[in-house]
Structure 1
C-alpha cells in the first residue's frame, strides 16, 4: 500500500458523508450557520443527488457549499472525495458494514477523520488495520465524537487535570465514576449498529471487544468492577443512585484508550524528550491503577435495580431472532428523529467523581467534574460535538495537543481546544473542583 504523503492542496476543509440522514442534516444545518462559516470550505456528500438538492433547498445553503455524490460502497468514489478535503465527518453507519473504506482512504491520503460510532468491535478492527498507516501519513482518525463518547472522555480528562493541579503531578487516579442524567431520544443509527453487532459481527470478536482495555495500546491497567443492579456515585450529597447504562461499554473503551495513549506518550517522552516535555506528558497520565465506570442516574434504588433488570431482559430477548425481528419493526429507524421542539427539551448532565491513590505524603483527593448540555444529547448535542471536533482539526491544527496521526480519541487528539470550542457554542458548561469531606471546595478550574 503506497503512502500518500505528497498531498495536493485540498479543495475543502470539511467534507460530510451522509449529509441527507437525520443527524447529517443537523450537522449540515449547524455548520452552515456556524459563526466561523466564512473561514472554512464546506462540502456535503450522499448517494442521492436528488436528496442532496432537496437538502440544499430545505436549509437554504449558500453557493459556497459544495455537493458531491458519493456511495461509500464504491472505493473509487470514496478515494476521490477524501483526497479533496482536510477533514472527513462520517455519519454513514453501521460502521462495521460501511465505515472501513472511508477510514482506509483517510489513512492512505493523510486526511483527518471523525465519526459517531459506538461500535467497539469495529474500532478494534480499524486500529489493527490502520493505526500505524495513519501515524505514518499524519491522519488523525478519531472515532466516537458524539454522545458516544465525548462526555465520558472529557469528564475524566478534566478531573485528572484538576487532581494534578491540587495534589501535584505525581498524583495517580484510583477510581473514576461518571453518572449520566439525560433526556432525549435514542438514535435510529445507534439501534441499527446494535443489530449489526448481533447479526454480522462474529461472536468471538464481540466478546474480545467487551474486555477491559480491548482498544487500548499495548499497556493494560486495572480491571473493571463487575456489572451490578445498583450503582452509587461516591462523595456527593445526596448520593446519586443509578442503573446499568447501555452506552457504558463503548464509552469505557474510549476512556481506556485515552488512558493508554497518555501512558504511552509519557513512556516515550522518558526516552528522548526534554524535561519540560516529560513533565507536560506526565500531567496528562491517569496512573497505572486507573479504573473507570459509569451508570445512568435514577430516582431511587428500587428504580435503579428494576431498570437494570429490564435492560438485562431486553439484552436476552434481542439474542432470540424472532423477538429481534419484532423489535426491529417498532424501534426507531435510521434517518428519522425527533422534532426541533422535542430536541430543545432534552438535556445532558454528566457528574464525574475521580479519587486519587493516597500516599505517605499526600492524602486521598476527590475531584468532581460536571458537564451540562442543553438539548437532546443523542441528536442535537451530538451534531454539535462532532462538528466542533472537525473544525478543531480543520482550523486549529497548530493549537492541538498532538502532532502525530493514528487512531486517537477526542481528548488525546483535541484536548482543551475541544473543551473551549464546546463551551463557546453556548450549549455546554464545564466545571471541575476539588471536594473536601464530600462537599464542594472553592478551588474550581473551569
Structure 2
C-alpha cells in the first residue's frame, strides 16, 4: 500500500445511522493525528455532517467530503486509491458492497466493515482472497458488534491458557449474559430480511455450519474437519428444548447472533490450529433466567426463521419495521444500554483439577455505539501497527483478533472492557 496516499482513513456510508456514529466517534475521541474524509452519495448530507463535526470541536477534527455517485468497481477504485484504510458502513453489504471489496483488494487498500452477513463474507473470501494477498491488502469484515467481541473473547481465553499451561483449548462456551438494547436499526433489520431474498435455501443452510469460514480443512486434511465438543454433551431433552445449563454461565438458550460470531471465531482458530488447538470448538448462546424462558425463546426463534423464509411473511414484517434504513434508536434512548459476554474455555491439558479460563466482556452503552468504537479503534490499530499485524498474519482476509493485544488495550482505554482470568490449578510454565 502506497505510503503517500492522501488520506489515512476514508469512511464510506458516513451519513447512514452507523456511519454517523462512527464519524462522531472519530471526531470526538481519536487523538492520534490522522487525515480523514467522509464519503457518500449526497453532497448536501456530507456537508451538513462535516459542519456538525467541525462545530463539535473534537480532537479528531473535521473531515474532508467526497461524493461517490455509484458503488461500482471503477468509482470505488478511484476512492480506494486515495486512502490507506477504507471503513465501510454501507448496508446491506450483500446488495451493495462486493465492488467495494473488489476495489480495495485490487488497489492494495486496507478494508474494514461491520457486516454480520456470513454468506456474503464467504462469497467475498472465495472471490478476492488471492487478489488481496497479491496486492498486499488487509481485509477485515465483521469488526463491529458482529463479530469482534466474540473473536476477542476467544482470543483472550486462548492466549491466557497458552501463557499459563502452554496448551491449546478444547471447548469454549460463551453466553450473551446481558444485552440491554434500544432495538435494531432500520439497516440491520433490512439486511436480515434481505438475506432471505438474496440467497437460496442451500446457501443459507451451508452458512449455518459454524466452521463455514474456517480454512483448516482446506489446509490440513490430517485433522478433524469439524471437531465436536469433547468436554460436555447435551441430553436429548436439552437438544429438543433448546435450553441447557453450563457451569459459571447458568441457563443457556439459542442466541440469534451466534451464527456470524461462531463462523468468525472458527476462522481465527482455523488459521492457527497449532495455537488455538486442533480440537478447538466455540459455541455461543444467550443466558436466560429459567429453563422455561429459554425453551420459549429457542422455539420462537426457530419458528421465526421458518416464517421469514416465506416471501409474503417477509413482506408483512417489512411493513411493520419501526425504523427505515438509515434510522435507528436515539442516542438518549441508549444511555442505559449494556452489553456483557461471559465465556469459559477448557484447556486441552487434562488434570485432576480442571484447567479453564473465564473471560468477561463488558460495554456500558448502545450496541451501535460499541460498533463505532470497535471499527474506529480497529482502523487506528491497523494504521499504527500495520507492520506487526502483517508480519504475524500476512495479507488477505483476516479477523478482528488479528489486531492482537494492542487492539484490546486501545479498546480498554475507550471503555470497552475485556478481562480473562485463570480457573483451576497453577500453571505448568
TM-score of the pair, normalised by structure 2: 0.89
2:169 matched to which residue of 1? 173
Which residue of 378, 394, 409 corresponds with 1:389?
378
Does 1:254 pair with 2:264?
yes
Q: Residues 212, 123 of structure 1: CA spacing in aligned structure 2 closer, same or farther, 3 A cutoff?
A: same
Aligned-partner SS, 1:60: helix
1:32 matched to which residue of 2? 27
Which residue of 161, 168, 182 corresponds with 2:179?
182
Which residue of 322, 337, 345 corresponds with 1:346?
337
Superposed CA deviations along residues 315-347 of structure 1, whole A, max 9, x for unmatched, are: 122122222111111223321111112122111
Unaligned runs of 5+ in 1: 264-281
Task: State the Cα distance separating 1:399 from its structure 2 match.
Answer: 4.0
Runs of 4+ more than 6 Å apart = 224-227
Q: Residues 408, 228 of structure 1: CA spacing in aligned structure 2 closer, same or farther, 3 A cutoff?
A: farther
Q: Residues 172, 394 of structure 1: CA spacing in aligned structure 2 closer, same or farther, 3 A cutoff?
A: closer
Unaligned runs of 5+ in 2: 218-224
1:318 matched to which residue of 2? 308
Q: Residues 177, 130 of structure 1: CA spacing in aligned structure 2 closer, same or farther, 3 A cutoff?
A: same
Distance in 1 (CA, whole Å) between partners of 2:311 and 2:409 is 45
Q: CA RMSD in A?
A: 2.2
Task: State the Cα distance separating 1:384 from its structure 2 match.
Answer: 0.7
1:330 matched to which residue of 2? 320
1:272 matched to which residue of 2? none
Distance in 1 (CA, whole Å) between partners of 2:110 and 2:70 is 17
Distance in 1 (CA, whole Å) between partners of 2:266 and 2:4 is 35
Contact between 1:71 and 1:78, CA under 8 Å: does it hold in 2?
no
Aligned-partner SS, 1:242: strand
Superposed CA deviations along residues 389-439 of structure 1, whole A, max 9, x for unmatched, are: 111112222343635110110112x011210111111x21121111239xx
Does 1:380 pair with 2:374?
no
1:303 matched to which residue of 2? 293
Aligned-partner SS, 2:65: strand
Which residue of 39, 44, 59 corresponds with 2:38?
44
Alignment of 1:80-95 (within 5 A): 80-95=78-93
Aligned-partner SS, 2:156: helix
Contact between 1:230 and 1:241, CA under 8 Å: does it hold in 2?
no
Distance in 1 (CA, whole Å) between partners of 2:48 and 2:388 is 37
Distance in 2 (CA, whole Å) between partners of 1:152 and 1:233 is 20
Does 1:434 pair with 2:422?
yes
Contact between 2:50 and 2:65, CA under 8 Å: does it hold in 1?
no
Contact between 1:243 and 1:297, CA under 8 Å: does it hold in 2?
yes
Distance in 1 (CA, whole Å) between partners of 2:173 and 2:69 is 41
Q: Residues 228, 69 of structure 1: CA spacing in aligned structure 2 closer, same or farther, 3 A cutoff?
A: farther
Distance in 1 (CA, whole Å) between partners of 2:241 and 2:99 is 40
Distance in 1 (CA, whole Å) between partners of 2:210 and 2:342 is 22
1:156 matched to which residue of 2? 154
